[in-house]
A and B are shown apart, each in its own frame.
Chain A
């Protein structure tokens, strides 16, 4: 590529005047497109994996010796990313296994605690039942104007409880005797029996 504008034009060309040659020669040969284009181009090359990222710097000149570069080739970066993903996936799987085990243990604990809670609940409601009967009888010092309705409810509750105990422990003699007493009473007065049980919801 040489300057031959006056001599390489051939018969078909239109000769340039000296002023035109001077004007063309005076045209600028360089123009700075600005820093943004450089950054845009560098980013595009990074995305294509053609250059590695330069951490903590923006365009320092390369050392004249070319020694001591801190950059990694693109494939090393890709390998590092792949290793990171594999590590994350492994950790996630392990966490899921451990998490599942912990969940089973937690359910077991809840079930074990559930039995105790039910027993405590029976004890608490039983205590409330006895305390209410005590109040009904006047042993706690309170005035009781009419006990017939309360007595009926108390006996019905006792009968219902005896039924539940028999269901829980069919061979339990005490629960069976309580129910036998209720049946005898019902046959005597006609108020309690299998055909006309008073259902009380607690």
Chain B
């Protein structure tokens, strides 16, 4: 019995198969590798709307496949894919008038449903205004630096930091309205 070496396929190899011969099985492999993470990210940025998140994920793969031949592999494929997904999320939120960079004073409008005495973290994030939510997801969950966020969103680092500050404060209000009223939050 002859032993066979299992050679794992790299993202680049799969991408070259897709670009070179339109290999469907290579695409499926690449899709299955990266979609669960992409979908979770997009779902959070879109505020938990599953149907919209699915549309964005599909569009992300279509756009990525169109531009796959031009990808230089100087960064991770996953990061590149997330960037495409983020842009599509922003475009979708903007086109529907939901992407607004809210001023500080408007944070008072971010309130949980009065029937919900306490909500979980995931729901609190979904209730944040899209601009704040995106920065918080990128920084506090995905681990991007402010410089990277600023580059991706086309804003200054200062704006990114300011938005994160506002996002965290709003999130705390949502998670513990009573504590916020007592002045626990800075």
Contacts and interface: CB of A to CB of B under 8 A. Distances in A.
Interface of A: 1-5, 8-10, 12-14, 16, 23-24, 27-33, 37-38, 40-42, 44-46, 48-54, 57, 59-62, 64-66, 69, 71-74
A16 to B, nearest CB: 7
Contacts of B6: 64
Contacts of B43: 31
Contacts, number: 154
Interface in B143-186: 143-146, 148, 158, 161-162, 164-165, 168-169, 172, 185-186
Q: Is the interface of B mostly helix, strand, loop or mixed?
A: helix
A41 to B, nearest CB: 5
Contacts of B139: 5, 8
A160 B62 CA distance: 88
Q: Nearest 10 pairs between A and B by C-beta?
A: A30-B36, A52-B22, A54-B24, A31-B40, A64-B7, A62-B26, A14-B168, A59-B28, A33-B39, A62-B25
A4 B122 CA distance: 21
B25 A57 contact: yes
B25 A60 contact: yes
A72 to B, nearest CB: 8
A2 B145 contact: yes
B145 A4 contact: yes
Contacts of A64: 6-9
B89 interface: no
9 contacts: A10-B161, A12-B165, A14-B169, A32-B39, A40-B54, A41-B31, A45-B62, A51-B24, A62-B9
A111 B51 CA distance: 71
B87 interface: no
Q: Is the interface of A mostly helix, strand, loop or mixed?
A: loop
Contacts of B22: 49-52, 71-74
Interface of B: 6-9, 13-14, 17-18, 20-29, 31-32, 35-37, 39-40, 43, 50, 53-54, 57-58, 61-62, 65-66, 79, 121-122, 139-146, 148, 158, 161-162, 164-165, 168-169, 172, 185-186
Contacts of A38: 28, 31-32, 35
B142 A13 contact: no
A83 B169 CA distance: 65
B169 to A, nearest CB: 6
A2 B14 contact: no
B140 A16 contact: yes
Contacts of B165: 12-14
A27 B48 CA distance: 14
A69 B21 contact: yes
Contact of A51 (B27, B37, B57, B58): B27
Contacts of A4: 143, 145
Nearest to A53: B24
Given A52-B22, A73-B22, 18 more contacts: A5-B139, A10-B146, A14-B185, A23-B121, A24-B121, A29-B40, A30-B40, A32-B36, A33-B53, A37-B39, A38-B35, A44-B62, A52-B21, A62-B29, A69-B17, A71-B22, A72-B22, A73-B21
